[in-house]
């Protein structure tokens, strides 16, 4: 999904920072968008509203279309184990998500763009499909000729990889060492509400 809207406004609406800029803005304005939001009055959500909000949080943290989310949910429901955990696993092992977790992009939106523009490799081969499924022991990297670009001038030393990834031979590479479990994945979402939303 290519979201071209105001990411700060969307972040405030969802209550989670989707970009570094949104995080800074939300520190100063820790409330939702709109002229009445600053007063601190929050409308109480119905059960459906709470489920919808959590679904939207999950969807935008991975920057996927609603149709893609439904397809991921259907696939997760047919896998062994808990549907919510399976759903997070399928979303987390998307290539654009793995690029973000590897610290090779500052946001999920930038990660998707990096993949779509052909800057990312998997096991040494260029892959330009954001939804590509990364498998355990796959090595992600930025193409040699792309590493000089300003968008990849990142502070790799300050970035801490999640427990299921390891830095490669260069800062521009990382390996998915094992499939992540829900508790390891750094997303803000009540996944059970998402399951309830799609299970209505």
CATH number for the domain harbouring residue 131: 3.10.290.10
- Give the separation between CA 20 and CA 10, rounded to whole angstroms: 13
Examine residue 60 and state whether it is found in any structural domain, yes or no: no
Domain span at 131: 94-179
Give the pLDDT confidence score for residue 184 in this predicted structure.
Answer: 95
Examine residue 148 and state whether it is found in any structural domain, yes or no: yes
Examine residue 68 and state whether it is found in any structural domain, yes or no: no
The count of C-alpha atoms lying within 13 angstroms of the C-alpha of 66, restricted to the half-sphere facing its C-beta, is 4
pTM of the predicted model as reported, rounded to 2 decimal places? 0.87
pLDDT in tens, 6-33: 778 888 888 887 876 766 666 666 655 5
Asked whether the beta carbons of 68 and 87 are under 8 A apart, the reply is: no
pLDDT in tens, 146-173: 999 999 998 888 889 999 999 998 999 9
Domains in the chain, number: 1
The better pLDDT of the pair 15, 52 is held by: 52
Cα–Cα distances in Å, from 22 out to 16, 18, 58, 73? 8, 6, 17, 28
Pair type for strands 120-122 and 165-167 = unpaired
The better pLDDT of the pair 30, 53 is held by: 53
Give the pLDDT confidence score for residue 100 in this predicted structure.
Answer: 96
Helix (H, G, I), strand (E, B) or coil at 176: strand
Examine residue 118 and state whether it is found in any structural domain, yes or no: yes
Examine residue 106 and state whether it is found in any structural domain, yes or no: yes
Examine residue 141 and state whether it is found in any structural domain, yes or no: yes
Examine residue 155 and state whether it is found in any structural domain, yes or no: yes
* Crossing angle of the two packed helices 66-77 and 191-198, in degrees rounded to 10: 90
Mean pLDDT of the chain: 89
Examine residue 7 and state whether it is found in any structural domain, yes or no: no
């Amino acid at each position: 999904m290519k979201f071209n809207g105001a990411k700060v406004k969307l972040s405030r609406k969802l209550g989670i920072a989707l970009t570094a800029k949104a995080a800074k803005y939300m520190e100063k304005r820790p409330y939702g968008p709109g002229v009445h939001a600053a007063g601190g009055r929050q409308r109480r959500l119905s059960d459906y509203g709470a489920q919808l909000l959590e679904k939207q949080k999950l969807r935008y943290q991975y920057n996927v279309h609603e149709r893609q989310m439904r397809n991921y949910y259907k696939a997760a429901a047919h896998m062994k184990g808990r549907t919510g955990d399976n759903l997070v696993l399928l979303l987390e092992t998307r290539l654009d998500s793995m690029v973000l977790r590897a610290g090779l992009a500052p946001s999920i939106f930038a990660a998707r763009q990096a993949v779509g523009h052909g800057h990312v490799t998997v096991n040494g081969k260029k892959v330009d499909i954001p939804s590509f499924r990364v498998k355990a022991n796959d090595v992600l990297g930025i193409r040699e000729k792309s590493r000089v670009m300003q968008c990849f001038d990142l502070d790799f030393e300050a970035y801490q990889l999640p427990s299921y990834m390891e830095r490669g031979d260069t800062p521009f590479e990382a390996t998915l060492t094992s499939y992540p479990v829900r508790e390891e994945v750094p997303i803000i979402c009540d996944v059970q509400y998402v399951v309830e939303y799609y299970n209505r």
